[in-house]
Amino acid sequence: MYIEVILPFAIQGTYTYRTAADMALKAGCRVVVPLAKKEVVGIVYKTYTELSPLLDDSKVRDVTAVLDEEAVVTDNQLLLWQWMSDYYMCPIGDVLAAALPKKVMDRQFSFSTSPCERKNQVHITIVQDPFELTEQQERAMKDIRTQWQDKRVVLLHGVTSSGKTEVYIHLIKEQLRAGKQVLYLVPEIALTAQLTDRLQRVFGDRLLVYHSRVSDGKRAEAYKQVLRHGKPQVVVGARSAVFLPFRDLGLVIVDEEHEQSYKQQDPAPRYHGRSVAIMLAYQQGAYALLGTATPSIETMYNVETGKYGCSRMTERFQGLRLPRITLIDLNRQYHRKEMYGHLSDPLVARIQEELAKGKQIILFQNRRGYAPYMQCSNCGSVPKCPNCDVSLTVHRTIRGSYLQCHYCGAETGIMSACSECGSEMKIHGFGTERLEDEVAHLFPKASVARMDLDSTRRKNAYQEIISSFSEHKVDILIGTQMVTKGLHFDDVSLVAVLQADTLFNQPSFRSYERAFQMLEQVAGRAGRKGQQGEVIIQTFDPNHPVFDYLRGHDTDGFYQWQRQERSQFRFPPFCHLITLTVKHRDEERAEAAATELRGHLTDVFGQRCSAVMPPSITRIQNLHIRQIQLRIERTAPIKKGKEMLGQILKELSASGLCKGVIIQPDTEPM
């Protein structure tokens, strides 16, 4: 007998091995097989009795060991992996490496069920939730159920604090009563921390949390629990939870569906968690629900064209008003010298007023560190990373001051004098660390905390910061985009955006969309209970058109504006966009390889292929980068287009013209 085996490496296709005739192997079992001079664990993809005539039997090696009697990867998983390999144009081995916890691929890991686990499958605690739905929530529930019968994928478009989570919970209950499993995706681990407590009170030990901050061993045990669990259950997690071995999935919820955190950038597979979740639901015959206050342009387009259904919740819970938006012109404030550090006089006054009332404040600055860069006061020299074409970010923490690259992590000491001319070095701009210092100085009686990538590296740091703020142990919370994503705090009356302009000035066709979503989401943290909240936005460009839509919380108007612009310039959703990134340590080699690639692409795709372009950051980790974009019209067969592109890449690899060059296709670039 022969088997095809998927190995967890970036190698194309599967490997064929021979097994003994008495080995009752099934697809989805783990096997130990020889590869070169070592042995590795792989997953059986297919079994067959006769060898393909294209293969030489004398070169087929024998399986070393069989680790499982029953499949530990389901047929549904293998089907999803193959779809991801094709759709995202990556080896299926890359998908396997991303899908399974490393410990699962350890030959010592056992999938046998312990007596304790068997006992938990029988005795399951369910905690009933006394909360009753409002009339608006009941209407949304009925609307979603009705549209599911036709569309299968429905968008729940509800303003911030409209009570979408309660709708999710009641829909989950229905699926559990029907004996089904539910997957509840959130974009950030920070959200699982706050959400888990809420869901635990309702679903007890039917709830399972799964994300990358959980240790690999616990993730492996969670994987086994989903595989072997005989009862309905709810899994809440970040994007990697789509890889769990669901057997009877009834509902997939993608909360905050617009979030770019659902996109895996590196390494491959460069998948979008929302897209995979929808395909997962489709393959298992489950319903899919996308929820957000600020839908992505692609999702709105799918609703408009009838591909998805849509249910709306236009009012906040208990009739609360959406926060009012106040713009502060920084040009005017700086000209009048009405600034305290990086906070304007009006903002400082409003913070003082709210603190006096016992309220809490969130300050949003989407840049971590102390300052973006240092610069020589004489010659203008800026310290840069030796490995990447970026300036080094200034950090001042309890371990001291230093410069760090936010792309490769390289660090060096603070420079007091310029390495070029010896003149004084000055700090420019501000990040969350500097803002924390300024706020602590301005409001010495207030308790201040910071939530960004640096302050949450430690285990349980997310939970501790969120809990402290929820329990009113912290008065002012400073944060990056982490604070914008679906968090609920009762006593936040004021939210301030310190430097809104940086959100607009990104080299991406999505920059306005991301800016609007981020500003509307962070605004949604204010006034969630009691009085109407306020959002103060500091900007050098108060006349920017995004603010017109933001003032009225007008997501539909914003969508129509962006829809027209995307259509005019042929950007998604009006085309399929594929970005090809070319990397090499030698800049000339990267340029030459990209030019060679473009030539081949142009022969096949014509004007759909862009010129070779340098990205905004041309070198990361000593690899020089060039990019090419393919824009394929939606009426064209995209599957055929990807096959043609794959053939071009295969031929280039075989010819040796791009030897040593990394070429990475991204079929859903963000």
CB atoms within 10 A of CB 107: 14
Does some domain include residue 389? no
Question: Based on the domain organization, do 580 and 558 belong to the same domain?
Answer: no
CB proximity list for 7: less than 8 A, separation 6 or greater: 14, 15, 33, 35, 40, 42, 93, 96
Q: Of 529, 547, 565, at which residue does a domain stop?
A: 565
Does some domain include residue 405? no
Inter-residue contact 528 to 194 (CB < 8 Å): no
Question: Based on the domain organization, do 359 and 459 belong to the same domain?
Answer: yes
Question: Based on the domain organization, do 492 and 553 belong to the same domain?
Answer: yes
Q: How many CA atoms within 13 Å lie on the side-chain side of 239?
A: 20
Question: Based on the domain organization, do 498 and 353 belong to the same domain?
Answer: yes
Q: Of 565, 595, 627, at which residue does a domain stop?
A: 565
Cα dist. 283→78, 105, 247, 462 in Å?
11, 25, 11, 34
Domain count for the chain, please give it: 4
Does some domain include residue 395? no
Main-chain dihedrals φ then ψ at residue 97, nearest 5 degrees: -60, -35
Question: Based on the domain organization, do 196 and 237 belong to the same domain?
Answer: yes
- Supply the mean pLDDT for the chain: 92
Main-chain dihedrals φ then ψ at residue 28, nearest 5 degrees: 100, -5
CATH number for 53: 3.40.1440.60
**pLDDT value, residue 119:** 43
Question: Based on the domain organization, do 345 and 472 belong to the same domain?
Answer: yes
Question: Based on the domain organization, do 314 and 325 belong to the same domain?
Answer: no
Does some domain include residue 404? no
Burial tier of 162 (Cβ tally within 10 Å: 0-12, 13-18, 19+): buried
Per the structure, the complete domain to which residue 597 belongs is given by 575-666
Does some domain include residue 419? no
Does some domain include residue 420? no
Does some domain include residue 402? no
**pLDDT value, residue 430:** 95
Question: Based on the domain organization, do 52 and 195 belong to the same domain?
Answer: no
Distance CA 483, CA 416 (A): 34
Question: Based on the domain organization, do 311 and 229 belong to the same domain?
Answer: yes
Question: Based on the domain organization, do 555 and 589 belong to the same domain?
Answer: no
CATH number for 458: 3.40.50.300
Question: Based on the domain organization, do 52 and 133 belong to the same domain?
Answer: no
**pLDDT value, residue 230:** 67
Does some domain include residue 523? yes
Q: Show the low-confidence residues of the chain (pLDDT under 70).
A: 113-119, 121-130, 190, 230, 486
**pLDDT value, residue 198:** 86
Question: Based on the domain organization, do 466 and 521 belong to the same domain?
Answer: yes
Burial 545-567 (b: 16+ CB within 10 A, else e): ebbebbeebebeebbebbbeebe
The alpha helices in 52-114, defined as continuous H runs, are 75-87, 92-99
CB proximity list for 578: less than 8 A, separation 6 or greater: 629, 630, 632, 642, 645, 665, 666, 667, 669
**pLDDT value, residue 121:** 43
Long-range contacts of residues 343-349, Cβ cutoff 8 Å, at least 24 apart: 343/438, 343/439, 343/442, 343/496, 343/498, 344/538, 346/536, 347/496, 347/536, 347/538, 348/442
pLDDT in tens, 540-572: 999 999 999 999 999 999 999 999 999 999 999
**pLDDT value, residue 130:** 53
Q: Of 43, 71, 105, at which residue does a domain stop?
A: 105
